[in-house]
Amino acid sequence: MKRIVLTTLAIMMAAGMVFASGQGESGAIDIGIAMPETHVERWQRDGAALLQGAQDLGYRAEVTYGNADQGLQNEQIQNMITKGAKVLIVGNINEGVNSVVSEAAQEGIIVIAYDRLITGSDDYDYYITFDNFKVGEFQGQAIADALDLDNASSDDPKYITLFAGSPTDNNANFFFDGAMSILRPYVEQGVLEVVGPAPMDSSSPDFTRIATENWRPEVAKARMENLLSNDALNVTLDAVLAPNDTLARAIIEALSADAKYDTTEELPVVTGQDAELASVQMIRDGEQYMTVFKDTRDLAAGAVALADALLKGEDTPSIDGARLDTETYDTGLKVVNSYLLEPINVTSDNWEAVMVGSGYYSASDFE
């Protein structure tokens, strides 16, 4: 046993994997990559692709994961500053990150907000993400289509319950507002009825009642269970707006444990996002209705290209595959230069073409 552990360690050291980094011998780095968490699968892909991309361009880089704990992530970022990072690529957890962002600014370090806007700060200038409002629109439209809301009648309304992402993640607002931009008119016509709290946009006080602290699946599962034995007890749900795949699967788990929804046919339409392998399989099997693919390889490549251009002295470089938006993303203190990539809608009709066709997964992942 001891020998196996030692051998494994030796192999890892030889492969330079121990610190999941490509630091120089001194431990100095050029690019620090701080990802928020690992309980949502995508971040591990983002982290790996960012690290590889930075190293491919000859930079010394390091990646860390914050376990959805801003205090921990701040220590990790602090450490990167100490190691001499010139660029920090940060997917933050909440506004608690601002103290280290401001420290970085004082040291002349470039901060790039990655995927999530860092709000409440004027200490950085760049943001790269997907068109997150569109992600929400895809989710809302999928529900409208699946329930044929255009032909539904208020005498026989369809029932939906609403979930949102973390209240401290600015993206959660965009996803929800995008979805409700499609669904709200049907609610107003009375053909779609919301079961449970019914905020019509993310600025409603009720938004916090449907939000899911730190995107934790156990929180969403418990809330779904609670709805099933209270507000949703006497109706049959036709749809659940779920903001991402991790939460969608937790919600489906709660639904499946209820006799009303314990077969695939009885499950309501449940949305998602991130095209996680387990969810794509469930889409193939008809258990989850859709997901939204945001290719982490492209986002990582864009972020590394941006870091590289900024380090070479460019100001607002153009980045392949991304649209520069200098007007929309306001931290509350300033509008930052934002690079937007296009998300892709995935259903049972196109999952194989998109997910295997793009090489994101291989056909053998689905056997």
Question: Rule CB under 6 A: which residues touch ligand BGC?
Answer: 40, 42, 115-116, 165, 169, 171, 215, 244, 273-274, 294
Any idea of the CA torsion for 113, 115, 117, 118, to the nearest 10 degrees?
-50
What's the DSSP call for residue 366?
A: G
Q: Closest Cα partner for 20 from 57, 49, 58?
A: 49
61-65 and 87-90 beta bridge pairing = unpaired
d(CA 27, CA 61): 10
Query: How far is it, in rounded angstroms, from Cα 146 to Cα 140?
Result: 10
CA separation, residue 206 to residues 2, 62, 176, 195, 202 (Å): 54, 40, 12, 13, 8
Nearest distance from C-beta of residue 152 to ligand BGC, angstroms: 30
Q: Using CA atoms, how far apart are residues 215 and 219, in angstroms rounded to an integer?
A: 8
Q: Beta-carbon neighbour count of residue 5 at 10 Å?
A: 9
Single-letter amino acid code for the residue at 299: L
What is the secondary structure of 117-143 as a DSSP string?
--TT--S--EEEEE-HHHHHHHHHHHH
Contact 272, 279 (CB under 8 A): yes
Residue type, 293: F
Residue 192's DSSP bridge partners are 158
CA angle in degrees (0–180, nearest 5) for 344-50-103: 115
Q: Which residues, 6+ apart, have CB-to-CB distance to 41 below 8 Å?
A: 245, 246, 274, 276, 277
Separation between Cα atoms, residue 194 and residue 198, nearest integer Å: 6
Q: Report the candidate in 119, 90, 86 with the shortest Cα–Cα distance to residue 105.
A: 86
